[in-house]
Amino acid sequence: MQVTLDPVFLDRFRAALGKLLIAKDDRVLCAVSGGPDSLALLLLAQQLIPDKLVAATVDHQLRPESGDEARYVQNICRALGVPHLILTPDEAICGNIQSSARAARYALLDRAADAESCRHIATAHHADDQLETMLMRLARGSGVDGLSAIRARNGRVIRPLLGFPKSELVDICARADIRPMDDPSNTNADFDRVAMRIWLAAAQHPFAADRAARSASALAEASDALVWMADMLAAERIRRESGSLVCDFSNIPKELKRRLLIRCLLELDPNLTPRGEAIERLLVDLTSGRTTTIGNIKCMGGRYWQFSDAPPRRN
């Protein structure tokens, strides 16, 4: 199959990919579901890194037609000359379907990337996804980290399409004469993202995907700067004393206190998942010099805040 893409799209994709690959010869596993977003990602990547590209489709086996859809993508990849894998979960997906499917999907992609010696996994998140994510997190009251939304790089996962709106990805598929698949879950308003997407399409609002992408990028830089500062403060101010962690929280802004507090808690219990409200209450208690517990950790306020394993509770 011979495909000719708009040089403007290719130049933008080349620039985005160049910022994300650690080395020019890195192999990339491209996640392709069969929708217009991932097919456009496949087409762009096939044009620029054909010898370093492997495609993979995760068949979650949640719908009867999912196997046929995976094979449809496989046929497209065969026509493009791109090696393709169909991945299926080891166990049936249950519980919270979206969350469980996502966890299974990334686990399968991670395993396949290792097997294929791919340094990166490319996914097709785009500018419209970024806008939806920012608004969803704003509605939940997220802070700087949450509002930085979808990162262009998260570990080995890269997202080179964040600068592309959905309309351009649909256009890429149309010009290549490739028909994307329709996933019915993308129209199920029971899912928060779909509900936000429907609202954005129907409402008169000032939000634009390109401006949201710029805001997300600025917030990501601010988040990285806070992480950098917290790293420096942690090295200077956190110490171990007789099985406890002791930290000097004096004369630093509240946001950095919050980050150091979370570091101390996770140092003692990596499985602890404190929510924002719980951290806020703990900050108030410790600032007031009180002693309290969170999970199995005893927290003592005062000049220096101390954290240790809480004694067993009495029946």
> Which residues are paired to 181 by β-bridges?
none
Q: Where are the domains of the chain?
A: 7-217, 242-309
The C-alpha atoms of residue 216 and residue 242 are separated, in whole angstroms, by 42
Estimate to the nearest angstrom the gap between the alpha carbon of 168 and the chain centroid.
22
Output the CATH code of domain 7-217.
3.40.50.620
What is the token pair recorded at 25? 């010869």
Residue type, 176: A
Cross-strand bridge partners of residue 157: 121, 154
pTM: 0.86
pLDDT tens per residue across all 315 residues of the chain: 778 899 999 999 999 999 999 998 999 999 999 999 999 999 999 999 999 999 999 999 888 999 999 999 999 999 999 999 999 998 888 878 788 889 999 999 999 999 999 999 999 999 999 999 999 999 988 899 999 999 999 999 999 999 999 999 999 999 999 999 887 777 777 788 889 999 998 999 999 998 999 999 999 999 999 999 999 999 999 999 988 999 999 999 999 999 999 999 999 999 998 888 899 999 999 999 999 999 899 999 988 999 999 887 665
Distance CA 315, CA 135 (A): 45
CA angle (271 as vertex; 285, 139 as ends), nearest 5: 65
State the alpha helices, DSSP H only, in the chain. 7-20, 36-48, 66-80, 97-115, 127-139, 144-147, 166-175, 192-202, 209-237, 254-268, 276-287
